[in-house]
Amino acid sequence: QKEVEQDPGPLSVPEGAIVSLNCTYSNSAFQYFMWYRQYSRKGPELLMYTYSSGNKEDGRFTAQVDKSSKYISLFIRDSQPSDSATYLCAMKSATGFQKLVFGTGTRLLVSP
């Protein structure tokens, strides 16, 4: 079993839809959770960062962490064609030098 599971998609939605992207994980030591957006042929860019459980909102983006279920989500409101990209979740534990563990990414397509 992988430490982090993420549906590869693609997820196709019409413009203006609410998008829900999700990851599950198995390591209960993970405390830091991130979402990256990667456009085709570009490096990933950090979108959202969350520590431990709870919600964090930034504009149209909301990151949610449920540590009891080992489940994290990224919601995109009023999705735009420019949101079409691959979204990767990433997480790490708080102890020592632990490397980020990435999901394989979900490809999102927002059609106008």
Residues forming contacts to another protein in the complex (CB under 8 A) are 8, 32, 34, 36, 41-46, 49, 51, 88, 90, 92, 94, 96-100, 102-105
Of 8 and 16, CB closest to another protein = 8
Q: How far is the CB of 27 from another protein (least distance, A)?
A: 15
Phi, psi (deg, nearest 5) at residue 82: -70, -10
Of 41 and 112, CB closest to another protein = 41
- Are 59 and 80 contacting, i.e. CB atoms less than 8 angstroms apart? no
Of 43 and 112, CB closest to another protein = 43
Give the dihedral of Cα atoms 31, 56, 70, 53; nearest 10 deg.
60
Q: How far is the CB of 60 from another protein (least distance, A)?
A: 20
What is the C-alpha to C-alpha distance for residues 41 and 61, in angstroms, rounded to an integer? 23
Q: How far is the CB of 36 from another protein (least distance, A)?
A: 8
What is the C-alpha to C-alpha distance for residues 11 and 83, in angstroms, rounded to an integer? 12
CA 104 vs. chain centroid, Å, equals 10
Q: How far is the CB of 46 from another protein (least distance, A)?
A: 5
